[in-house]
């Protein structure tokens, strides 16, 4: 039996050698044809996505907020936190000053500070830019939402900036909280 098995094995080997050896004008066996793998396609896809993603925000934004707007946001919130309410009013957009007088603005911000307390932590939740012709603020605006913890409550701060003549100005400031006293 063993000799018969060897004979069949040798015949099988010989037929493979004939197949791979001289092709006699026949096509190559399919296993020797190099086909691109799925991994190649995945690498190309990832490279394309990364190249498009890196080109979209070419240095003009930080955390989705224009750099100039981020500076105005930081300054306005620092002034509100420090109680510099007159400075906030003077540097605010016309939209802010058309809604309230300087005394009313100061009184509202002070009432808010008295009921909520000082800011302990503030974390940017989201921000969005809009170009609208309607309310809340017509024109190019940016609304930033902060998750804020005050001394006596926690809530969401909404800060709306508007752009006029290439400069950003504070247009609205809201705090929503269920724990205000």
Q: Are residues 28 and 10 in the same domain?
A: yes
Which of 30, 56, 82 is the endpoint of a domain? 56
Q: Are residues 118 and 149 in the same domain?
A: yes
Q: How confident is the model at residue 69 (pLDDT cuts 50, 70, 90)?
A: very high
Q: Are residues 111 and 172 in the same domain?
A: yes
Residue 27, pLDDT score? 61
Which of 34, 56, 78 is the endpoint of a domain? 56
Q: Are residues 158 and 88 in the same domain?
A: yes
Q: Tell whether the model's pLDDT for residue 36 goes beyond 90.
A: no
Q: Are residues 99 and 145 in the same domain?
A: yes
* 181 lies in some domain: no
Calpha distance 74→48 (Å, rounded): 36
pTM of the model: 0.63
- Residues of the chain with pLDDT > 90, as a percent, come to 53
Backbone angles phi, psi at 130, to 5 degrees: -140, 150
Residue 139, pLDDT score? 85
Over its C-alpha atoms, the chain yields an Rg (Å, rounded) of 34
Q: Are residues 117 and 133 in the same domain?
A: yes
* 155 lies in some domain: yes
Residue 59, pLDDT score? 34
The parent domain of residue 111 ranges over 62-176
What is the average pLDDT across 154-167?
93
SS3 43: helix
Q: Which residue has the higher pLDDT, 12 or 168?
A: 168
Token reading at 28:
């190559």
Q: Tell whether the model's pLDDT for residue 79 goes beyond 60.
A: yes
Token reading at 164:
């006029």
Q: Are residues 112 and 75 in the same domain?
A: yes
The structural domain count of the chain equals: 2
Q: Are residues 34 and 72 in the same domain?
A: no
Range of weakest confidence among 87-91, 97-101, 107-111, 176-180:
176-180
Q: Tell whether the model's pLDDT for residue 19 goes beyond 60.
A: no
Q: Are residues 82 and 171 in the same domain?
A: yes
Q: Are residues 28 and 106 in the same domain?
A: no
Q: Tell whether the model's pLDDT for residue 38 goes beyond 50.
A: yes
What is the average pLDDT across 149-156?
93
Residue 133, pLDDT score? 77
Q: Are residues 76 and 104 in the same domain?
A: yes
CB 153 within 8 A of CB 120: no
Q: Tell whether the model's pLDDT for residue 136 goes beyond 70.
A: no
| CATH code, domain carrying 145 | 3.10.450.100
């Amino acid at each position: 039996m063993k000799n018969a098995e060897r004979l069949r094995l040798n015949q099988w080997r010989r037929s493979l050698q004939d197949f791979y050896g001289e092709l006699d004008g026949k096509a190559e066996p399919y296993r020797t044809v190099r086909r691109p793998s799925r991994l190649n396609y995945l690498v190309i896809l990832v490279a394309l996505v990364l190249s498009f993603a890196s080109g979209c925000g070419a240095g003009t934004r930080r955390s989705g907020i224009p750099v100039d707007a981020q500076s105005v946001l930081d300054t306005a919130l620092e002034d509100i936190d420090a109680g510099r309410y007159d400075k906030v009013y003077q540097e605010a957009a016309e939209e802010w000053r058309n809604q309230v007088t300087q005394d009313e603005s100061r009184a509202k911000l002070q009432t808010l500070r008295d009921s909520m307390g000082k800011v302990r932590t503030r974390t940017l939740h989201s921000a969005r830019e809009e170009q609208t012709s309607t309310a809340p603020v017509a024109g190019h605006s940016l609304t930033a939402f902060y998750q804020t913890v005050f001394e006596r409550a926690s809530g969401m701060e909404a800060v709306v900036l508007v752009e006029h003549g290439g400069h950003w100005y504070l247009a609205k400031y809201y705090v929503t909280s269920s724990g205000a006293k």
